């Protein structure tokens, strides 16, 4: 559930609280460190436990590659896998505190931004998203993989 954004008196910080059954996560936007995309610059979370999700690749439930050569298909599969892993660990996309994203080609960055703009409103209950570190690397574990995403989520036991 999304609460209204809280703003400090000096308007230098905005907090968006997404609180569900799993944790309270506040996505912060700091005026002096504005993000350049659909992410927050920091997260503050209240939780009993953290869930560390290993880098998710574009594979199906049997470990077979999905979307070879198709960045957008791979990205959708990666986030479907992320959602499934989080739910299996008792968390949700709304409890994500941070992502780290690896892409293998700089020319995929515009596709990444466009696909994220379509995908995230379907995956999150708010219009504010977790911090994300985006890296371009020369290669992932197998050459057919074009994107990998790892995450950390905050969970309240209950």
pTM: 0.83
Which stretches does DSSP call E strand in 90-146? 96-103, 132-136
What's the confidence (pLDDT) of residue 158?
Answer: 64
Query: Any residues with CB less than 8 A from the CB of 117 and at least 6 apart, and which?
Result: 38
- Give residue 27's pLDDT band: very low, low, confident or very high (50, 70, 90): confident
More confident residue, 36 or 6: 36
- Residue 31: what pLDDT? 81
- pLDDT tens digit sequence for 96-147: 999 999 999 999 999 999 999 999 999 999 898 999 999 999 999 999 999 9
Confidence of residue 17 (pLDDT cuts 50, 70, 90): very low
What token pair was written down for 90? 């008792």
> What is the pLDDT at residue 156?
81
Q: At a CB cut-off of 8 Å and minimum separation 6, what does 148 contact?
A: 55, 56, 57, 78, 101, 102, 140, 141
Confidence of residue 81 (pLDDT cuts 50, 70, 90): very high
Mean pLDDT of the chain: 86
- Domain parsing of the chain, residue ranges: 47-155
| Most confident of the following: 5-9, 30-34, 78-82, 127-131 | 78-82
CATH 3.40.50.11540 assigned to domain 47-155? The reply is: no
């Amino acid at each position: 559930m999304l609460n209204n954004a809280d703003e400090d008196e000096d308007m230098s910080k905005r907090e968006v609280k997404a609180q569900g059954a799993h944790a309270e996560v506040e996505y912060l936007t700091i005026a002096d460190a504005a993000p350049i995309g659909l992410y927050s610059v920091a997260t503050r979370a209240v939780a009993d436990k953290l869930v560390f999700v290993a880098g998710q690749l574009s594979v199906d439930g049997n470990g077979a590659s999905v979307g070879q050569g198709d960045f957008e298909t791979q990205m959708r599969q990666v986030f479907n896998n992320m959602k499934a892993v989080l739910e299996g660990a008792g968390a949700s996309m709304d409890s994500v505190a941070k992502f780290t994203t690896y892409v293998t080609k700089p020319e995929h960055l515009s596709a990444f931004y466009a696909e994220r703009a379509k995908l995230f409103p379907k995956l999150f209950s708010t219009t504010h998203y977790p911090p994300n570190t985006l890296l371009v690397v020369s290669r992932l574990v197998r050459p057919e993989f074009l994107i990998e995403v790892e995450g950390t989520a905050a969970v309240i036991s209950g």
